[in-house]
Structure 1
Amino acid sequence: MTRLAFKMKLFKGYEEEYKRRHDELWPELQSLLKGSGISDYSIFLDKNDNTLFGVLQIEDPAVMAKLPEEPIMKKWWVHMADIMETNADKSPVSIPLDEVFYLL
């Protein structure tokens, strides 16, 4: 398993809406993520600047590059685009983070 971490940016005032949408995560998106080998996926919010910090485990990191091709992933991006920073294709602006410490 490989652990991946990244950060994104939520628009101010949408903290509760972001949580609500993830509390109601679409079953087909959840199936895609789990079926892609993703597990132990968490997203945290820094309320000081609305930075989102995500961390997940994945069996094969190369699979992450294929997820943007999935229709349900594209639909989720459109669903989330009004409350967070996105790229032209509606994917979230996501900045990968390098792991510098891990205590098991």
Structure 2
Amino acid sequence: MTRVCFELQIAPDLVDEYVARHSPVHPEMLAEIAASGRRNYSLFLGEGGRLIGYYETDDDAAAQAYLAASPVAARWEAEMSRFFVGLDGRPDQAATPLTEVFHLADQIARTQPS
């Protein structure tokens, strides 16, 4: 399993509308996210429109490719693209990935005898 964390910046004046658009997300888009193989997907909103996303997947490249080819995801991302600052391309394909530097379960596992 791969854990993926990413960062995006929402235009501060559009934060309330962005949150409203996710309450709830269209059922068709939820189904596409699940069908892509992404699970345990969360978005966290920080001050000034800083958005952190997290999901788990068995094959991130396959999940990305699935969503890139999905007409449902293309429509959703086209609608959502206006919310983001400094983004070149579709939000789901152009988010800045973050590097994992600590994971509790991995470190505990390393301390256990094999």
In which range does the TM-score fall when normalised by the shorter chain?
A: 0.7 to 0.9
Consecutive unaligned residues of structure 2, counting only runs of 5 or more, are 106-114
What do you get for the CA RMSD once the two structures are aligned? 1.4
Give the whole-Å Cα distance in 2 for the aligned partners of 1:76 and 1:15.
Answer: 17
Alpha-carbon shift at residue 42 of structure 1 (Å): 0.7
Scaled by the length of structure 2, what TM-score is found? 0.80
Does the 8 Å contact 2:37/2:63 carry over to 1?
A: no
* Residue equivalent to 1:19: 19
Does the 8 Å contact 2:8/2:95 carry over to 1?
A: yes
Secondary structure at 1:25 match in 2? coil
Instruction: Give the structure with higher Rg (CA).
Output: 2
* Structure 1 or 2: more helix by fraction: 2
Deviations 1:18-77 (A, max 9, x none): 111111211111111111211111111111x32111010112212233111211111011
Size of the alignment, in residue pairs?
Answer: 101
Q: Which 4+ runs in 1 deviate beyond 2 A? A: none
* Residue equivalent to 1:101: 102
Name the CA shift for 1:22/1:14 in 2 (closer, same or farther; >3 Å).
same
Give the whole-Å Cα distance in 2 for the aligned partners of 1:52 and 1:64.
Answer: 20
Alpha-carbon shift at residue 82 of structure 1 (Å): 2.0
Worse-superposed segment, 62-71 or 37-46:
62-71
Give the whole-Å Cα distance in 1 for the aligned partners of 2:37 and 2:69.
Answer: 16
- The letter of the residue matching 1:78 is A
Give the whole-Å Cα distance in 2 for the aligned partners of 1:64 and 1:37.
Answer: 6
- The letter of the residue matching 1:15 is V
Give the whole-Å Cα distance in 1 for the aligned partners of 2:78 and 2:64.
Answer: 18
Q: With a CA cutoff of 8 Å and minimum separation of 6, indicate the structure with the bigger relative contact order.
A: 1
Give the whole-Å Cα distance in 1 for the aligned partners of 2:77 and 2:34.
Answer: 18
* Structure 1 or 2: more strand by fraction: 1
- Alignment partner of 1:52 is 2:51: yes
